[in-house]
Amino acid sequence: MFSGGFMTIYAYTRVSKAENETGTTDNQIINIESQLKIDNVYSDVNISGSMPFQKRPEAQKLVSVLKSGDIVVIAKLDRGFRDTADCLNTVKWLQKRNVTLRILDIALDVSTPIGEMILTIMASVATFERKRIAERIKDGFANGRKQGKSYGYKLEAVHRSVAIRSSKRRQEALERYDMIRTNLSELIAQNATEAQMLAHLRMLGQPVSRTTLRNALGK
């Protein structure tokens, strides 16, 4: 539902399973917070950029609360969109509802004709480059197999490497969760809401995603 009222600034972040090292989008949130003050964050974790924006779980929640005059901020173009048509359709959908989209890495005002034209070009180039890379990889494997090459990894070495990386990431995550709980100890005792806790962490200069907060609280 879209209604009048005070402007709200939302951050949208995304990380796919293939890219995900920490299980969070905290770096994107920190990047956005360094440039402007945000009121709320919606983060899609383990979601591919090939999924249309308005079909992603957290993006759906975001668009359901938007009202005229609000602003949606994305750190990088590819965090929001990997498909030209999806990008342009979403921009037009937001414009019809008087919602501003800011994409920090390209610093464009997409509400203007020139901004929309440049966005179209950049989104098209990104889509083309992604498809070209995929085709080159596919062709490379095919040519290699024709030459008798085999592809794969020694399973034992892979398991060992994965175990080491997982252990290190798990320890880093546990230390981070301890710090979050320490900073929120008073609010936890007061049964504060998630929104209040996230706002408190942002005020401390330690913004985190809702996913990270819930992990820290054992939810």
Dist. CA 146–CA 154, nearest whole Å = 22
pLDDT digits (tens, 9 = 90+) for 49-76: 889 999 999 999 999 999 999 999 999 8
- Positive or negative, the CA dihedral 44, 30, 105, 165 is negative
The total number of structural domains in the chain stands at 2
Among 70, 95, 119, residue at a domain's last position: 119
The pLDDT value given to residue 211 = 83
* 71 shares a domain with 19: yes
Asked, for residue 133, whether it belongs to a domain, the answer is no
This model's pTM is above 0.75: no
pLDDT value, residue 73: 94
Place of tokens 């994107």: 28
Helical pair 155-183 and 194-203, crossing angle rounded to 10 deg: 90
Q: Classify strands 40-45 and 71-74 as parallel, antiparallel or unpaired.
A: unpaired
**Of 119, 142, 168, at which residue does a domain stop?**
119
Q: Is residue 194 part of a domain?
A: yes
Q: Please, which contacts does 193-201 make with residues 24 or more away whose CB atoms are closer than 8 Å?
A: 195/40, 198/40, 198/41
Asked whether residue 99 falls in the same domain as residue 190, the answer is no
Name the amino acid, one letter, at 141: F
Residue 7 and residue 67 in contact, taking contact as beta carbons nearer than 8 Å = no
pLDDT digit string, tens, across residues 92-140: 899 899 999 998 988 777 777 777 777 778 777 666 666 666 666 666 6
Residue 197 located in a structural domain:
yes
Query: What's the rounded Cα separation, in Å, for the pair 86 and 84?
Result: 6
Residue range of the domain that includes 110: 9-119
Q: Per the domain annotation, does 2 fall within a domain?
A: no
Under DSSP, the state recorded for 35 is T
Which CATH number characterizes residue 105's domain? 3.40.50.1390
